[in-house]
Each structure stands twice: as structure tokens, then as C-alpha cells.
Amino acid sequence: MTTDLVIEAEGLVKHYGETKALQGVDLVVPRGTVLGVLGPNGAGKTTTVRILSTLLDPDAGTARINGLDVVRDAEKVRHMIGLTGQYASVDEDLTGRQNLVLFGTLLELGRAGARARAAELLEWFDLADAADRPAKTYSGGMRRRLDLAASLVGRPDVIFLDEPTTGLDPAKREAMWDVVRSLVTDGSTVLLTTQYLEEADALADEITVVDHGRVIAHDTPDGLKRIVGGQTLEVRPADPSRLPETAQILSQVSTGAAADEIRKGMLAVPVAGDAALTETVARLGAAGIAVTELSLHLPSLDEVFFSLTGHTADDGSATGPDATSKEVAA
Amino acid sequence: MTTTTLGPTTTDRTPRVPAAAAARRPFPLVRHSAALTKRSLIKTWRTPEALIDVTLQPIIFLAIFATIFGNAVAGSTEDYLQFLLPGILGQTIAMGAIAIGVNLNTDMEKGIFDRFKSLPIPRSAPLLGAVLGDVVRYVIVAVVTIATGYAMGFRIATSPLEAVAGCLLAVLFAVCLSWVSVWVGMVVRTSGAVQGVMFLLVMPLSFGSNVFVQTDDLPTWMQGFVDVNPLTHLVDSMRGLFLGLPVGDHVWWTLAWCVGLVAVFMPLALRAYRRKV
């Protein structure tokens, strides 16, 4: 194979009555890489995943997985893909093990093969202790892990993860990120949808930004960050009377703009990278300024959208996770 | 939660079973449906409260109707029980077929059906599995009804073989009728509405029949409907097989209804299911 593209989509269109879910989405994912599809609720992320995973036929456009058309060769495509939906797609009345054995049986692993594979996955995903409890008793994080395990039963080449960490707390999100990284090390190709630039940055080789059923940007995480302007450093001094002093220090580490009081007692400046954090800590320490909050984060989806389109993402819920990157308690 | 590294720890790139090898295994629909039938059975086992309609209902119906109507209709509760039991069995088993549409309607809203659709299995397998899994519910109806009847004084006048044949006919009828319920479950939006629609269908079937009284004792205008009602044929078949009365062509009519129900409603249900993606 010359150009080893595992996922190729051209001009995907899908309308639901008046709602134009997709209005011509193109994307490509080379073998062994992760594509992050970033966008707010209703941007068309899930519709795209449903088309690529053969659940839905497009109204127009084509999509291929390993060169096979998702409509005409749907049956063959289903042998190659694993899908983890936005909502846990396992049977809640069955135990974790029964779920995985069921999918193994349906994937023709045979009775012994399905059992062995289930045991292996339960071990990998730290679910061995809960394996024989009904899935409805699982916590949110455990359900996500079981769901992801279920999509890996058939050792798929291509894995679709539709908002795998929505609703998970930061610690569990990080654990899920580790899983995704290990999948790629393992040779799989992953398409991941997310509302968080943070997440796309942590996992994806390339990011496609979608809005209103269209692709509005496609770049590497670094490229995208250059477009949207690096990171933001936020500091809250313990003593509000020292705000002006703190602001002055921050202006010195900033990439240009002066420190801005974004919330009461909270200052923010754009910075170039992680080095600014160490620098700030050192300077604040030297000046003897105690802080109660100090964090560095990537722009939220709103900020990304503002940079790319000049307007904010329509959906108010589509804001980034609050400072999950590097929180320092001072 | 301890955040140790999860996921595959070894390099594991064993290729999945290639499509060709999978295709070589015979009868994929049968095997996949069997696996999904097992899923259904596990779910039934886990939620015994969902069996109330096939356990308590026949007991209560038998007790109530035999006592209330016994003297009025047949002169004595004992005589009426002989007549009533096959009727209650037919009515309860038909009502037992309502649940599947309600359950599938709820099930479809959950992610599990997305998972099924993304697997290389026949699209109809999850529906077939659910329908076959419900056979166990219908068998429970038959066992509970006859056991309760025996406790109340009902006696089978023929051989065990004929009695079993009568029960199997009822189970078969319920399986075929359940395709109507599956179809309604696919086309109606909420599970409550599925229940409502199915009740509207099953109620006239069970009361516009010979379940409680002989056809001759019903209003003349109603008899035309009662005579073609599949439940009438099923109940008359069972009366024949349980009590040694003439069966006539009722068994054939019942079987014809079974074939008809499946021929019409199974394709409709499968088509509605595919559309509901």
C-alpha cells in the first residue's frame, strides 16, 4: 500500500429533516495514528462516527475503512472496527464477564476463545474483581472501561471512541488517556471525538475541528495551538492587596499582553509554554507572594472557536475542563 | 481509584478472525441468535420481578374468574374450572407476549443495540434472540396455570402427551404473536405506548373469544368475530387436547394463524428495526 490511510471520508452529508447534521465532512487517518475530532455538542461528531462505524448511511459522500466502503462493504468493515459510544454500550443486566463473552461469541472467537479473551481484557482494564457483578453496579469509570474493553474484544484495527471521557472526573480521565495511548502503541488506529482541546492535545497526532457539520480546521495539536495562541496562566494571590504586584510579575512572563483580572482576585496572562509556570513560581516566591491557585491551561473550546471563527461555540456546555492540566496547590 | 496503567500491556497484534474463516462456520444466524437468546435468559433470571405477568397473573385470573363466574356460567366452580383453564392459559400466554415489545422498545434506547449493529452479525439476530428467549416465559405460564388448576381441582382427561401437545401449541402461538409486539415496539415511540397499543389488541382477542363462555352464549353480532379469532381456535384446540373433546380443525386454524402472524409481522418488525438505526 502506498498511502496507508485507514480511515478516509469525503464529503459526508447527513440531514435529519431540516437539521443538517453533516454538510460535507472530509477526514483522513493514517495507520497507527490518533485523529482527534474536536467540536461542541451538535457539531456532527457523533453522526460522523456513526457513519464511519456503519451504523448510519450517509445521504451523500463516501467513507472507507482500510479501503472498504462503509455502505457497500459494511459487513467486512464491521470485522475491522471497535466502537465505544458516548453512552456505555454494554448490557447492564449482564456481568462484565458475560458481556465480554457474549461479544466474543458473536465475533466468532469460539467458546474457549471468548472466555480467554474476556478474562484477559478484564485483567487489563482492572475489572477482574468486579467481573462477576452486573454492569449496572459499576461506577461511571468502570462502565467506560468495560465499554472500551467490549470494543476491543475482536482485536480491531480501527477504534472509534465517541467522547470517551465525557462525565469522568479528572483522575479517571487521565487513566482513560493512558488506555488510549497504549492502544496506539499496540498498533491500532484511533478516531476520537472530544469537546476538550486538552484531551485532543494529550492524545491526538492530528486534530480536525468541526462545527455545524463542517470541518473548520485541520492541523497538528501544535499547529492548532499556534493558531489559538498558546496557553493561559492563571494565578490567585492569597492576599488580594497584592494583586497589582502579582500582575506586574505576570506581565514579565507573558507573551505580550498585560495580566487581566478574569474573575474577582484571579489574574490571567497568555504564556508560551510550561517554562512560564516554573518562572512564575520562582518570581512569586522571591517576592514573597503566597497564592491560593496557580494553573496553566490550554484554551477552552470556546476560545479555540473564537480564534478560528470569530464567534464562540454555540453550546454553552462546551467549555473546557477547568484547569486539569497542571494544578499547583500553593 | 488507583490509576495504574490500564490496557494492553503486551504487544498483542494477533489478527482477528478473518471474515473468510468466520463465514466458513455454518448457520451464523442460528449461532448468533442462540448467543443472544442466552443473553435474554440471563436478563430474565436477573429480574424475576419481570415474571409477574406469567406467574402471579394466571394464578389470580384462575382464582378470580373461576369463583366469580363459576356458579353463574356453569352451575359450579369445579365444572367451570375444567372449561375455564384452557381459556385462561390462552389469555395469559397472549398477554405474556406483550412484554417483549415493551422491553425491546426500552432496550433500543440503550447503547447496547449500537454495539450489536457495529458487530459483523446478522441484523435480525438480536430480535430473534429476544423472541426465542421469551419461550421460557411462555413455558412458565403453561406450568403455573396447570399446576394452579390442579391445586384447585382441574384434571386433565386425556394423556400427558396430549396435554403437553396442547401446551406446546399455546407456546408456539405466543412466540408467533410476539412478533406483533416486537413490531409495535419498533414503531411506537415510548414503552408506555407499546403497552397501551398491545393491550388494545390483546383485550378484544381475549374477551371477544370463547375464553370465558361458549361462543353460542355470546351476542350474535359478536360470534362472527369470535369464530375467526385465533384465540378461540387455540383455546378450543387446548380444550380438545386436555379434556378429550373433539378438536375438529381448530389445531389447523391455530397453526395457520401462527404462520400468518409470522409471515406478516416478522418482516414488518425487521424492517422497522433496521429503520430505527
Cell (9 digits) for A245: 504586584
| Number of separate helices (H) and strands (E) present in chain B | 13, 0
Number of domains composing chain B: 1
* Residue B130 placed within a domain: yes
Question: Which one of B37, B112, B113, B276 makes the best mutation probe of the A interface by having the most chain A beta carbons within 10 Å?
Answer: B112
Q: Could you tell me which chain A residue has the CA closest to the CA of B31? A: A106
Kindly report the backbone phi and psi dihedral angles of residue B18, in degrees, each rounded to the nearest multiple of 5, phi listed first: -65, 155
pLDDT by residue (tens digit) across B163-173? Answer: 999 999 999 99
Contact B38 A102 (CB under 8 A): yes
Q: Which of A314-328, B1-15, B119-133, B187-201 has the lowest mean pLDDT?
A: A314-328
Q: Which residue of chain B has the CA closest to A180? A: B7
Residue A213: what pLDDT?
Answer: 92
So what's the pLDDT on residue A17? 85
Give the confidence band of B142 by pLDDT, cuts at 50, 70, 90: very high
Q: Mean pLDDT over all residues of chain A?
A: 85
pLDDT (0 to 100) of residue B199: 94
DSSP conformational letter for A95: B
Question: Is residue B26 included in any domain, yes or no?
Answer: no
From the list A89, A105, A175, which residue is nearest B115 (CB)?
Answer: A89
Percentages helix, strand, coil for chain A (3-state, rounded to 5) are: 40, 30, 35
Q: By the 8 A CB rule, do A206 and A220 touch?
A: yes
A188-207 residue pLDDT tens: 999 999 988 888 988 999 99
**Above 60 in pLDDT, residue B22?**
no
**Any B CB within 8 A of A179 CB:** yes
- Contact call for B114 and A182, based on CB within 8 A: no
For each of the domains in chain A, give its residue range(s) and CATH number, in order of start. 5-225 (3.40.50.300), 230-328 (3.30.70)
pLDDT score for A310: 66
Report which listed range, A171-175, A256-260, B66-70, B190-194, is most confident: B190-194
pLDDT value at position A40? 87
Instruction: Kindly tell me if the per-residue pLDDT of B135 is higher than 70.
Output: yes
**Closest CB from B11, B18, B19 relative to A186:** B11
* Closest alpha carbon to B9 in A153, A113, A157, A181: A181
Percent of residues, chain A, with pLDDT higher than 70: 91
A-B C-beta contacts closer than 8 Å:
134
B114 inside domain: yes
pLDDT score at A88: 65
Residue carrying C-alpha cell 457523533: A46
B117 contacts in chain A (CB < 8 Å):
54-55
- Pairing type for strands A206-211 and A34-38 reads parallel
The answer to whether position B104 is within a domain reads yes
CA–CA distance from B277 to each of A21, B32, B117, B153, B266 (Å)? 16, 19, 8, 51, 17
Minimal Cα distance from A81: which residue of B? B118
Comparing CB atoms, the residue among B7, B25, B125 nearest residue A182 is: B7
Contact criterion met (CB below 8 Å) for B166 and B83: no
Q: Which domain holds residue B253?
A: 49-275
User: How many CA atoms within 13 Å lie on the side-chain side of A179?
Assistant: 30
Residue B195 lies in a domain: yes
Asked if the model's pLDDT at residue A321 lies above 70, the reply is no
- pLDDT at residue number A86: 72
Please say if the pLDDT value at position B14 is more than 70: no
Edge-to-edge strand ranges of the sheet holding A326-328 = A260-263, A266-271, A231-237, A291-297, A326-328
Does the beta-carbon distance from B6 to A81 stay under 8 Å?
no
Instruction: Provide the pLDDT for residue B185.
Output: 95
| Chain B contact present for A164, CB below 8 A | no
In this prediction, residue B133 carries a pLDDT of 93
CB neighbour burial string for A141-180, b if at least 16 within 10 angstroms, e if fewer: bbbbbbbbbbbbbbbbbbbbbbbbbbebeeebbebbbebb
pLDDT of residue B113: 86
pLDDT band at B114 (very low <50, low <70, confident <90, very high): confident
Q: B170, B93 in Cβ contact below 8 A?
A: yes
Task: Confirm if A125 and A99 have CB atoms less than 8 A apart.
Answer: no
pLDDT digits (tens, 9 = 90+) for B28-60: 788 899 999 999 999 888 888 889 888 999 999
Residue A34: what pLDDT?
Answer: 95
What is the per-residue pLDDT for A313? 58
Q: Does A154 touch chain B if contact means CB atoms closer than 8 Å?
A: yes
Question: Which residues of chain A from 56 to 95 reach within 8 Å of chain B, CB to CB?
Answer: 56, 75-76, 78-83, 85-94
**Residues of A in Cβ contact (< 8 Å) with B119:** 78, 103, 106-107
Residue at B92 is within a domain: yes
At residue B6, the pLDDT reads 56
Name the band, by pLDDT with cuts 50, 70 and 90, for residue A320: very low
